[in-house]
Structure 1
Amino acid sequence: MFGGLSGLNNPPGTDWGERMLNTVASQTIRHLFTRSESVEVSVRCYPSSKLLQGSIDSFKMSGRGLIIRKDFYVEEMSFETDAVAIDFSSVLGGKLTLKQPTQAVAQVTLTEAGINNAFNAELVRKRLQNISLPGLAEISGGESISFSDVQVQLLPENEVKILAKADINNGELVPISLKATLAVERRRRVTFQNPKFEAEDIPESQQDLSRTLTNALAEILNNMVDLDRFDLDGVMMRINRLETQGQKLIFSGYAQIDRIPGNA
């Protein structure tokens, strides 16, 4: 399942307890993801005798090329905790169980290609199909509207350009083009602020209709990108900051880990 799994090669002098804990933690964390290129886990405990009481100084994980819930690609993910309390008896049984929830500093990097692939995932496509909005009833003759072929381009200063097509159920596909600024709301929801219609990308005969549909698409996206929908089992992510860097979108924040999750 995995292209590579490191974290099992410990520095010289690492005691047997840490080696065993690193091995168990690596085997546990890898099951968070459907696939991965690499996962590295490092657990520190000094002096090692604290491990017998279930006390760990820090727990660090970093992964690359991760697939979450079969469809969502993450270029890089990392988190690092402070002191953690674990059930040492669970480690002897080949598992990792927390005695109490803990928090970790976290960073997640998405790529432009990964974001666009996510729009093809069934979970996302369903939320873009058969939409009924009061403001669009006149356009669609009372029928629902579906959006497809969504393409996102990451721009400097947290801007994005979004292209899409709208099917208004009369056989006409209406192209959509907009620019917006990415922002974070309540540390869990990504919003598309100040959407601006890009008329130069749209045939003149369809511009009025496309402008109306642009605002509708922005409204739908604002209610769709919520981290709570994509949380790993037992791990809640929160965003403090996001930033576009070239063709990458980087989130930094924290993760609250209530329990070590099962398979993703």
Structure 2
Amino acid sequence: MFGGLTGLQDPKGTDWGERMLNTVASQTIRHLFTQSESVEVFVRCYPSSKLLQGSIDSFKMSGRGLVIRRDFAVEEMSFETDAVAIDFGSVLKGKLSLKQPTQAIAQVILSEVGINQAFSAELVKKRLLNLTVPSLTALSGGEPVSFTDVQVQLLPENRLQVVAKADLNNGELVPLSMILTIGIERRRRVSFKDPKMELDQVPEAQREISQTLSVALVEILDNMVDLDRFDLDGVKMRLNRLETEGQKLIFSGYAEIERIPSSS
């Protein structure tokens, strides 16, 4: 499987350890994702002999066009550690194992397109379809309510516009449109706050119910994006800040890496 290691284990070369570890690490990290456009790993280990004791100076990963859990697109992801202790024996077996947990500075960039695609994922749809919350079914004559056709547009200053439709399951579709502010809570959850309803495009007869349903949708979104639900096995993301920049949503923080996962 790791035939690419052939010729990299010549101890005469000053970078033989780095090249071998880069090869193993790249293939290990690439397999964490359902799909990847590119994954690059840069390992610093000087002198290379330190690798024999399982000590490396730094570990940096950069990926583009990544897909996590088959449905969640990440435009870019990067993380970088300080010194790390690894099991050198695992490297010789074509694997990468940590001797102890470590932390890495991390950045994740999502695109507006990728965010909207995520609303088609089963994990997301089950939180939006056929809801039987009493406050909602009271509006639909007891029928389940679904939020469909959700579209997000990123705006400056950590704001976004959300448009959607509420299906009352009684033949009535109610259009929803609002501007929200997004932020971070407890370093792991994305919050949706301060909704400002846009009712100009909503038929006058539906404006009151549209506003009520919009508030309900905000509450659902506010409890939906918890990073612990999307963590790779052995890796937890923690956020320090987020910002909207054009059609990108940029998260920065750190990753708590307990072990290198074996698959996505």
- Name the TM tier (shorter chain): over 0.9
1:157 — aligned with what? 157
Return the offset for 1:130: 1.6
2:176 — aligned with what? 176
In structure 1, C-alpha distance between the alignment counterparts of 2:112 and 2:14, rounded to whole Å: 40
1:5 — aligned with what? none
Q: Is it true that 1:46 corresponds to 2:50 in the alignment? A: no
Deviation digits for residues 199-249 of structure 1 (CA, Å, limit 9, x no counterpart): 112121211110000000000000101111111111100110000000000
2:90 — aligned with what? 90
In structure 2, C-alpha distance between the alignment counterparts of 1:69 and 1:106, rounded to whole Å: 19
In structure 2, C-alpha distance between the alignment counterparts of 1:14 and 1:233, rounded to whole Å: 34
Structure 1 residue matching 2:142: 3-state secondary structure: coil
2:143 and 2:170 in contact (8 A); partners too: no
Paired residue type of 1:218: V
In structure 2, C-alpha distance between the alignment counterparts of 1:60 and 1:177, rounded to whole Å: 41
How do 1:47-62 residues align onto structure 2 when only pairs under 5 Å count? 47-62=47-62
Alpha-carbon distance change, 65 to 137 in structure 1, aligned in 2, over 3 angstroms: same
2:195 — aligned with what? 195
In structure 2, C-alpha distance between the alignment counterparts of 1:151 and 1:54, rounded to whole Å: 48
In structure 1, C-alpha distance between the alignment counterparts of 2:122 and 2:141, rounded to whole Å: 27
Structure 2 residue matching 1:127: 3-state secondary structure: coil
> Any unmatched runs of 5+ in structure 2?
1-7
Paired residue type of 1:209: I
In structure 1, C-alpha distance between the alignment counterparts of 2:221 and 2:118, rounded to whole Å: 13
Q: Is it true that 1:20 corresponds to 2:17 in the alignment? A: no
Q: Which runs of 4+ in 1 moved over 2 A?
A: 132-138
Structure 1 residue matching 2:139: 3-state secondary structure: helix
Return the offset for 1:136: 2.4
2:241 and 2:252 in contact (8 A); partners too: yes
Alpha-carbon distance change, 14 to 170 in structure 1, aligned in 2, over 3 angstroms: farther
1:105 — aligned with what? 105
2:4 — aligned with what? none
Deviation digits for residues 101-149 of structure 1 (CA, Å, limit 9, x no counterpart): 1000000000000000000111111110121333223212222211110
Return the offset for 1:73: 0.6
Structure 2 residue matching 1:140: 3-state secondary structure: coil
Deviation digits for residues 145-166 of structure 1 (CA, Å, limit 9, x no counterpart): 1111000000000000000011
In structure 1, C-alpha distance between the alignment counterparts of 2:14 and 2:63, rounded to whole Å: 22
Alpha-carbon distance change, 19 to 198 in structure 1, aligned in 2, over 3 angstroms: same
Alpha-carbon distance change, 206 to 200 in structure 1, aligned in 2, over 3 angstroms: same
In structure 1, C-alpha distance between the alignment counterparts of 2:62 and 2:34, rounded to whole Å: 16
> Any unmatched runs of 5+ in structure 1?
1-7
In structure 2, C-alpha distance between the alignment counterparts of 1:193 and 1:96, rounded to whole Å: 41
2:61 and 2:80 in contact (8 A); partners too: yes
2:188 and 2:226 in contact (8 A); partners too: yes
Return the offset for 1:14: 5.0
- Greater shift, 196-205 or 238-247, is seen at 196-205
2:103 and 2:255 in contact (8 A); partners too: yes
2:5 — aligned with what? none
In structure 2, C-alpha distance between the alignment counterparts of 1:262 and 1:92, rounded to whole Å: 16
In structure 1, C-alpha distance between the alignment counterparts of 2:33 and 2:161, rounded to whole Å: 29
Return the offset for 1:88: 0.3
Identical residues among aligned pairs (%): 75
Paired residue type of 2:192: F
Calculate the TM-score normalised by the size of structure 1: 0.93
Structure 2 residue matching 1:103: 3-state secondary structure: strand
Q: Is it true that 1:135 corresponds to 2:135 in the alignment? A: yes
In structure 1, C-alpha distance between the alignment counterparts of 2:201 and 2:187, rounded to whole Å: 33
In structure 2, C-alpha distance between the alignment counterparts of 1:84 and 1:200, rounded to whole Å: 56
1:126 — aligned with what? 126
